[in-house]
Structure 1
Amino acid sequence: MHLAFWQPIYLSLTISLTAAIVVGVFGTITGFIGGRKSFKGKLMLETVALLPIVLPPSVVGFLLIKLFGHTSFFGRFIEWLFGESILFTWWAATIAASVVAFPLMYQMAKTGFVQIDKEIEGAAAVDGASKAMVFMYITLPLAKPAILTGLLLSFARAFGEFGATLMFAGNIPGKTQTIPTAIYVAMEAGDMFIAWLYVVMCVVVSVLILLLSTMFQRKMLKL
């Protein structure tokens, strides 16, 4: 295969992995807070965090452009700091993928932490374990199946992201063109063979991820 064929695959994998790592960290932290803490404004914060699930991808892309674009304070600060805009770059594609994948990670992590029996944590605390030790050696391992499921689903969501990425990062071959946008281009060009190759790859990856996530969910239900 020509190098141009493999570039969208490489970009999709690197962008999705990076996005999964980012949302894995922030989603686990916020999932713990959302599942264990009560505070004023929690419902509003959760609503905002989950909005990408229900918003059209084009709306997510539009909002990202407004947030990171040339006319926003944040966008101008990034240009001043790095000497260039973040729009239509690899980082833009990663941000878009992270935003749409975050709700899945948050929901799974929150579910995992909520389902943990607090008596187990309490017993460890009675035995002299600090809060940090209880979290690291009791809470986090018990929530592991849910967190791993969230990571897999986040990767899958980032891997299949199209609308927000197309608006915010564009479709630049070798730079921001991922598999979904490559499929769109192949369809437009009438190259059904290439389109089918990419489609089959997406289906295979999605099936494998769903199988793995189902395994982790079954482990979670047995806890």
Structure 2
Amino acid sequence: MSETEIQIVLLSLRVAGMAILVALPLAFAVAWLFARHDFPGKSFAQALVMLPLVVPPVVTGYGLLVLFGTQGPIGGPLREWLGFTFAFRWTGAALAAGVMAFPLLVRPIRLSLEAIDPSLSEMARTLGVGRLRRFLTITLPLGLPGLIAGGILGFAKALGEFGATITFVSNVPGETQTLSLAIYSLLQSPQGDAAALRLIGFSVVLALGAVIVSELVQRRLGAGAAGR
């Protein structure tokens, strides 16, 4: 691989890593809310979370552009007060990747939390165990398979994100040009087939590896929890 291709891969890993690092705690909180609480509009909220999976990615990208662009209701104040912008920057690519991966984070975590017997936490409560300690010693360990599986799958999704990213932050070499955007650009060039094939192969290997690791981790942790 050339130096340019290595930089593209490193940028993609940076974008996907930051996307999951920021999105995972929020996804856990949302999954906890869905798994443990009933409230008016819950079905609508669940559908809203899953929306990025079912609408065209360009729609999601346009929504991010409206909200987080330099003139948007969120992006405008961020630029004016903090001097921080998402537009045409790798941070914007990470935001787009995180939003697109968010449903894949929430669902396995929610299913994992729903599988935890609520009586375990209730018994601990009656024994005087505090809420934080119950969370750290019961909920979090038992919910770990879903947390890890969701994180890995979300990371793979973030690596391959295209539509929302190119709509929101464009295709800027060295700044927002991740693997999928670079492959798209190379396929438009008569001399880019060889480089595109190398990046495609690398993308496939990363995606397959993520799915396999996710399955193995989930099975091992699930077997360990069953054994206990």
TM-score, normalization: structure 1?
0.94
C-alpha offsets along residues 60-93 of structure 1, whole Å, 9 cap, x if unaligned? Answer: 1111111112442222212202436421111110
Q: Aligned-pair RMSD on alpha carbons?
A: 1.5
Higher mean displacement: 11-20 or 84-93: 84-93
Q: Does 1:121 align with 2:101?
A: no
| CA distance in structure 1 between the aligned counterparts of 2:45 and 2:71, rounded to whole angstroms | 26
Residue 199 of structure 1: aligned partner: 200
Whole-angstrom distance in 1 between the partners of 2:119 and 2:85: 51
| Deviation per residue, 1:94-134 (Å, 9 max, x gap) | 10000000111111111110001122222222222112111
**C-alpha distance in 2 between matches for 1:113 and 1:128:** 22
SS in 2 for 1:189: coil
Q: Which residue of 2 aligns with 1:208?
A: 209
Moved more, 43-52 or 80-89: 80-89
Cα distance between partner residues in 2 of 1:134 and 1:84: 38
**Contact kept? 1:146, 1:220, Cα under 8 Å:** no
1:87-166 equivalence runs, <5 A:
87-166=87-166
User: Is the contact made by 1:23 and 1:154 (CA closer than 8 Å) also made in structure 2?
Assistant: no
- Superposed displacement of residue 46, structure 1: 1.7
| Identical residues among aligned pairs (%) | 32
Match of residue 168 from structure 2: 168
The answer for unaligned runs of 5 or more in structure 2 is none
Point out where structure 1 has 5 or more consecutive residues left out of the alignment.
none
Query: Hey, what's the Cα distance between the residues in 2 that align with 1:76 and 1:15?
Result: 22
How big is the shift at 1:221? 5.0
Measure the CA separation in 2 of the matches of 1:86 and 1:193. Answer: 32
Counterpart position of 1:218: 219
Q: Structure 1: how far apart are the matches of 2:167 and 2:60?
A: 9
Q: Give the superposition deviation at 1:23.
A: 1.6
Q: Deviations over 1:180-219 (max 9, x none)?
A: 0110111111311101110111111111111111123324
2:3 alignment counterpart: 3
Are 1:23 and 1:98, in contact at CA under 8 Å, matched by a contact in 2?
yes
Contact 1:52 1:60 in 2 (8 A): yes
Secondary structure of the 2:119 match is: helix
Q: Which residues in structure 2 correspond to 1:172-183 (within 5 Å)?
A: 172-183=172-183
Structure 1's consecutive aligned runs of 4 or more residues displaced over 6 angstroms after TM superposition are none
- Alpha-carbon contact 1:9-1:179 (below 8 Å) kept: yes
Match of 1:14 in 2: 14
| Residue of structure 2 in register with 1:75 after alignment | 75
Q: State how 1:46-65 maps to structure 2 within 5 Å.
A: 46-65=46-65
- Paired with 2:71 and 2:22, the residues of 1 have a C-alpha distance of 26
